[in-house]
């Protein structure tokens, strides 16, 4: 490839340049030497790939950032020297030296770790990473630099990826999407929020008629249809690459969701917390959508059309373990066209604001370290008799950037029993409650209290009618 480029540039020098310039070239060799000098056949040439946004936590001495380097030269690379230039502050740092444990071979691309200092305040700062020397010699790469957007944050964001699978029992090819969704959720349980939406089948008849209203027609013109953050329509049983691409995209917004059954065990109360790791751009507004999902759904009468009876063939040798269900002949009825005993997971039962967020959840004008909350309720859950195991109900919360229409982040949680303490969202530190007995004016009571109303250990309001307290809640 390099030889081809060299030849092309040499011909350009000989035959395309104006006569008064090309006349001085006495030979083909001279043209090649000029081509070599302008970087077409360099000896010491290393170029970085632009990483885009990188996150640096305020207060850290430095953060190690992964960068990809490519050796475009003839020689193996044992070391590089590089500098930083902060475009906002107009300050340079370096040079710094990076020695390779193993030489970077000709044409090789390798990821290296580069330490970068965080900024003094939250926000973005443009940084120019420039490779000045290769093996102690001038870097001949025509683009030996890359721009980085350094995002100094108060905490590292946790990006979760929304995966939505649209399927139908009548669809022969839909098992491939069901398998892909189950597999990615299993492999990345902390980073995937999975939702399976059924279209005009036996499941769609027993869930909310308004679930994903308007979205099914938009994203499931044909099925199977697996969407990753609604940006990438994935195909096949392996959607790992699509997931990783979306996972690598930046988010400035952390979010957590918590859900609890009410006193009657029929309604689910949901609370979401959103915290910016770095202040969003001016004018950006965010809103939250919710979906209640259930897993482990099955019915002896259900039949899933399937075109994967040949699963055992070599074409599926790399399929995830979820495809093994289709290899068992005992699971098929009606010849090899339908599967029985199917278990459906992550099924959308009911949703709220999954188009672009609920109107009353809109958030804007964030301040540093500010946590904003939103609450909603899923009512009358007991009417969904298709849910056999309430412990497999989950609530997914999705954060939409209403300005761009993009999905910023997502979160999910199980539903805890009423009055129990679940895993608290980690966005807010709980204030330490005072221990002891206090009167209603906040004065600590020493010794045995007289009858009256008191605050005990900062939590319970108790009425004393005798030497023994009685909880009046």
How many structural domains does the chain have?
Answer: 4
pLDDT at 432 (0 to 100): 38
- 421 is a domain residue: no
pLDDT exceeds 70 at position 444: no
For 218-242, letters b (16+ CB in 10 Å) and e give: ebbeebbbbbbbbeeebeebbbeeb
- 423 is a domain residue: no
Calculate Rg over the CA atoms of the chain. 30
What is the maximum span of the chain, computed from C-alpha positions, in angstroms? 113
Smallest CA-to-CA distance from 259 within 389, 397, 408, 407 is with 397
Is 215 found in the same domain as 200? yes
Is 336 found in the same domain as 351? yes
pLDDT at 1 (0 to 100): 47
Judge contact between 290 and 376, C-beta under 8 A.
yes
Contacts of 187 by beta carbon, 8 Å cutoff, 6+ apart: 240
pLDDT at 265 (0 to 100): 95
160 half-sphere exposure, CB direction, 13 A CA radius:
24
182 exposure class (CB count in 10 Å sphere: 0-12, 13-18, 19+): buried
Mean pLDDT score, 82-96 = 91
DSSP letter (8 states) at residue 444: B
- 422 is a domain residue: no
Judge contact between 148 and 127, C-beta under 8 A.
yes
Q: Say if strands 268-276 and 253-261 run parallel, antiparallel, or are unpaired.
A: antiparallel
Please give the residue that has the higher pLDDT: either 88 or 213.
213
Is 464 found in the same domain as 398? no
pLDDT at 22 (0 to 100): 44
Is 359 found in the same domain as 445? no
Is 343 found in the same domain as 302? yes
pLDDT at 28 (0 to 100): 46
Please give the residue that has the higher pLDDT: either 8 or 193.
193
| 3-class DSSP state of 235 | coil
Is 264 found in the same domain as 123? no
- 427 is a domain residue: no
pLDDT exceeds 60 at position 54: yes
Is 144 found in the same domain as 240? no
| Distance set, CA 186 to CA 180, 190, 194, 235, 321 (Å) | 10, 9, 10, 18, 10
Is 336 found in the same domain as 188? yes
pLDDT at 450 (0 to 100): 60
Phi, psi for residue 386 in degrees, rounded to 5: -65, -20
Mean pLDDT score, 13-23 = 46
Is 344 found in the same domain as 246? yes
Domain ends where: 136, 153, 170?
153
pLDDT at 466 (0 to 100): 38
Please give the residue that has the higher pLDDT: either 435 or 189.
189
pLDDT digits (tens, 9 = 90+) for 376-417: 999 999 999 999 999 999 999 999 999 989 999 999 999 999
Mean pLDDT score, 95-109 = 95
pLDDT digits (tens, 9 = 90+) for 160-188: 999 999 999 999 999 999 999 999 999 99
Is 145 found in the same domain as 62? yes
pLDDT exceeds 70 at position 155: yes
Q: Looking at residue 217, which CATH number applies to its domain? A: 2.60.40.10
| 3-class DSSP state of 33 | helix
Asked which of 46-55, 239-248, 265-274 is least confident by mean pLDDT, the reply is 46-55
Is 173 found in the same domain as 149? no
Residue range of the domain that includes 34:
2-40
pLDDT exceeds 80 at position 464: no
How much of the chain exceeds pLDDT 90, in percent? 59
pLDDT digits (tens, 9 = 90+) for 261-301: 999 999 999 999 999 988 888 889 999 999 999 999 999 99
Structure tokens, 404: 């761009």
pLDDT at 41 (0 to 100): 61
Strand ranges, E, within 313-424: 332-333, 338-339, 347-352, 372-378, 393-401, 406-416
Is 168 found in the same domain as 107? no
Q: Which residue has the tokens 């039962």?
A: 349
412 exposure class (CB count in 10 Å sphere: 0-12, 13-18, 19+): buried
Average pLDDT of the chain is 84
- 337 is a domain residue: yes
Mean pLDDT score, 426-440 = 47
Q: Which of 72-76, 309-313, 411-415 has the largest mean confidence?
A: 411-415
pLDDT exceeds 90 at position 51: no
DSSP-assigned beta bridge partners for residue 443: none
pLDDT exceeds 60 at position 246: yes
The whole-angstrom distance between residue 439's C-alpha and the CA centroid of its chain comes to 48
pLDDT exceeds 50 at position 425: no
pLDDT at 441 (0 to 100): 44
40 exposure class (CB count in 10 Å sphere: 0-12, 13-18, 19+): buried
Asked which of 62-71, 366-375, 445-454 is least confident by mean pLDDT, the reply is 445-454
Mean pLDDT score, 237-262 = 92
pLDDT exceeds 60 at position 16: no
pLDDT digits (tens, 9 = 90+) for 328-369: 888 998 777 899 999 999 999 999 999 999 999 999 988 877
Contacts of 328 by beta carbon, 8 Å cutoff, 6+ apart: none
pLDDT at 433 (0 to 100): 39
pLDDT exceeds 50 at position 434: no
Question: Count of residues for the chain?
Answer: 473
- 424 is a domain residue: no
Distance CA 190, CA 437 (A): 41
| Distance set, CA 424 to CA 17, 158, 254, 257, 262 (Å) | 70, 16, 14, 9, 17
pLDDT exceeds 80 at position 4: no
């Amino acid at each position: 490839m390099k030889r081809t480029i060299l030849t092309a540039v040499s011909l350009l020098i000989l035959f395309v340049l104006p006569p008064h310039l090309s006349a001085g070239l006495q030979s083909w060799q001279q043209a090649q030497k000029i081509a070599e000098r302008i970087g077409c056949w360099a000896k010491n040439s290393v170029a970085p790939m632009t990483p885009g946004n990188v996150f640096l936590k305020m207060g850290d001495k430095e953060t190690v950032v992964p960068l990809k380097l490519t050796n475009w030269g003839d020689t193996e690379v044992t070391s590089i020297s590089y500098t930083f230039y902060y475009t906002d502050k107009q300050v340079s740092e370096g040079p710094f030296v990076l020695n390779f444990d193993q030489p970077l071979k000709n044409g090789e691309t390798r990821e290296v770790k580069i330490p970068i200092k965080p900024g003094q305040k939250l926000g973005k700062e443009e940084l120019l990473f420039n490779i000045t020397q290769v093996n102690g010699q001038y870097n001949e790469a025509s683009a030996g630099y890359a721009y980085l957007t350094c995002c100094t944050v108060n905490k590292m964001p946790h990006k979760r990826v929304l995966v939505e699978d649209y399927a139908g029992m009548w669809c022969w090819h839909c098992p491939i999407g069901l398998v892909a969704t189950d597999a990615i959720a299993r492999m990345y349980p902390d980073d995937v929020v999975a939702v399976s939406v059924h279209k005009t089948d036996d499941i769609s008849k027993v869930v909310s008629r308004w679930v994903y209203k308007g979205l099914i027609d938009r994203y499931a013109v044909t099925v199977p249809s697996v969407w990753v953050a609604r940006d990438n329509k994935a195909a096949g049983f392996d959607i790992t690459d699509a997931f990783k691409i979306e996972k690598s995209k930046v988010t400035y917004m952390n979010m957590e969701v918590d859900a609890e059954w009410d006193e009657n065990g029929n309604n689910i109360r949901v609370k979401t917390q959103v915290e910016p790791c770095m202040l969003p751009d001016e004018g950006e507004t965010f809103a939250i959508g919710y979906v209640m999902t259930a897993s482990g759904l099955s019915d002896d009468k259900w039949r899933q059309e399937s075109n994967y009876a040949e699963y055992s063939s070599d074409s599926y040798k790399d399929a995830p373990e979820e495809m093994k269900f289709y290899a068992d002949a005992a699971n098929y009825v009606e010849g090899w066209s339908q599967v029985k005993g199917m278990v459906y997971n992550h099924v959308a039962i009911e949703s709220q604001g999954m188009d672009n967020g609920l109107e009353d959840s809109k958030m804007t004008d964030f301040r540093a370290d500010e946590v904003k909350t939103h609450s909603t309720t899923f009512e009358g859950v007991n009417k969904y008799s298709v849910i056999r195991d309430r412990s497999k109900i989950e609530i997914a919360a999705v954060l939409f950037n209403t300005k761009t229409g993009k999905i910023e982040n997502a979160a999910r949680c199980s539903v805890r029993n009423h009055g129990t303490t679940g895993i608290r969202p980690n966005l807010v530190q709980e204030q330490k409650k005072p221990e002891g007995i206090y009167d209603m004016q906040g004065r600590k009571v020493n010794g045995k209290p007289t009858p009256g109303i008191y605050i005990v250990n900062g939590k319970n309001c108790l009425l004393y009618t005798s030497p023994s307290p009685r909880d009046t809640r």
